[in-house]
Structure 1
Amino acid sequence: MKNIEIQVRRKPRQSRARITQEALMESFVRLLAERSANEITIREITDLAGVGLGTFYEYFSKKEDLIALTIHQHVKNNAESLKSYAQSQYELSTNLEFSEYLQQVIHFQLQEIQAQQFLWAQSFLLERQVSSIESYQKSYAMMVQMWQSILKPFIQKNEQLQQMSLNVQRLCYGFVSQTLLMQPEFSDWQVLEEDIIQTMKHLICIKE
């Protein structure tokens, strides 16, 4: 597969249309658990989703567009979940130290990824096969913005906030994506978390 941009023919403005698009993405994910993306046909996706081929082509021009959107939505859901968790942790404590706060958020992120390890491993792999550089940059920027929202209560200077958020994303994404690309069935998550935290303390000067 060559790199392409996401080509969504019709954005789902109505709830019924949105449900149909989500059903197509969910069907692809379910089939992905059985075999590789290359072997999955559009017909199989639509049959499992309970829609016709014509409905598929109302939203997507090809299978790769569905895959790219599925990956983007997966990343977006993770970002929203992390922001909600971080906000709840910040609101629950009035004297939470920055280092403890950040470590709790990273721990939660790794738990979320581990809970859907197969899907994340496949997403990192497919991302390199079907996503254009523009799509990749969009998802990466979304995650950096997520970290800015999470770290903002502790970092007042905008330039420092941007750099810190970028560094945290570089570390978390790099450690996790490279680990799952090389070892899709990786199991030593506690060691990985410790490695991320220790590296972060050295690179962005988190104080004990």
Structure 2
Amino acid sequence: MKNPEIQVRRRPRQSRAKLTQEALQESFVRLLHERHAHEITIREITDVAGVGLGTFYEYFSKKEDLVALTIHQHVKTNAEQLKSYAQSLMELSTKLSFEDYLQQIIHFQLEQIQARQFLWAQTFLLERQVSNIESYRKSYEMMVQMWHSILEPYVDDEVQLNRISLNVQRVCYGFVSQTLLVEPEFGDWIMLEREILKLLMNILFFKNN
């Protein structure tokens, strides 16, 4: 079912309210390991979260809104982890080449995805089922901006930086999402990393020169 946008009835302004909303998201993810998303009921989500059914409707109008928010938060967390890792690389070495810098970040990103492979496979699948085009664009733009922030120390020209950021997101998202959609239990991550890096090096170090 497509939604016009993520509909959150109540924004969690207090820590307790935020924890409740997070508990509902975590409950959905836990149940997702047991069966398909369309089989999970709101009652089951609230039971696992330890809250009443009315509490769910304080925050969401329907299950799909919870699913969409869970996807968004999952992608956002990944973006924040990547930015933190990139910052740590910059702090450790100021002599790291752009190529080595990018390779290490891609490797870290794939490690994070592999560590939660089931959830990422489900995220890409559910993204196509519950996210409308505007929600999809917002998430995609968030990741492009993440790459912009990560690559900015190495690229002075803003136009080139925008283009490179978009291309890195295109390649990484395309390779990983299509791989896990077709083969959720994919196992050859070393090969996938090599293919991603090979294409990125060709795009960035030949076509952009």
Same fold flag (TM > 0.5) = yes
Structure-2 separation of matches of 1:85 and 1:139: 20
Structure-2 separation of matches of 1:151 and 1:103: 12
Task: Tell me the CA shift for residue 3 of structure 1.
Answer: 4.3
Q: Secondary structure at the match of 1:205?
A: helix
Any residues of structure 2 matched to 1:3-152 within 5 Å, and which? Answer: 3-152=3-152
Q: Give every structure 1 segment of 4 or more consecutive aligned residues whose post-TM-superposition deviation is greater than 4 Å.
A: none
Name 1:171's counterpart in structure 2: 171
Q: Secondary structure at the match of 2:10?
A: coil
1:166-204, Cα deviation, whole Å (9 max, x unpaired): 000000000000000000000000000000000111112
1:27-69, Cα deviation, whole Å (9 max, x unpaired): 0000000000000000000000000011000000000000000
Name 1:188's counterpart in structure 2: 188
Q: Secondary structure at the match of 1:204?
A: helix
Name 1:202's counterpart in structure 2: 202
Aligned length, in residue pairs: 207
Task: Tell me the CA shift for residue 5 of structure 1.
Answer: 1.5
Structure-1 separation of matches of 2:119 and 2:87: 26
1:82-105, Cα deviation, whole Å (9 max, x unpaired): 000000001100210000000000
Alignment RMSD = 1.1
Q: Secondary structure at the match of 2:171?
A: helix
Structure-2 separation of matches of 1:203 and 1:3: 36
Structure-2 separation of matches of 1:139 and 1:8: 17
TM (norm. structure 2) is: 0.97
Equivalent residue letter for 2:41:
T
Q: CA contact under 8 A between 1:121 and 1:177: conserved in structure 2?
A: yes
Structure-1 separation of matches of 2:95 and 2:114: 29
Q: CA contact under 8 A between 1:118 and 1:184: conserved in structure 2?
A: yes
In percent, how many aligned pairs have the same letter? 73
Structure-1 separation of matches of 2:151 and 2:61: 39
Task: Tell me the CA shift for residue 133 of structure 1.
Answer: 0.7
Unaligned runs of 5+ in 1: none
Q: CA contact under 8 A between 1:9 and 1:59: conserved in structure 2?
A: yes
Structure-1 separation of matches of 2:13 and 2:2: 30
TM (norm. structure 1) is: 0.98
Q: CA contact under 8 A between 1:171 and 1:196: conserved in structure 2?
A: yes
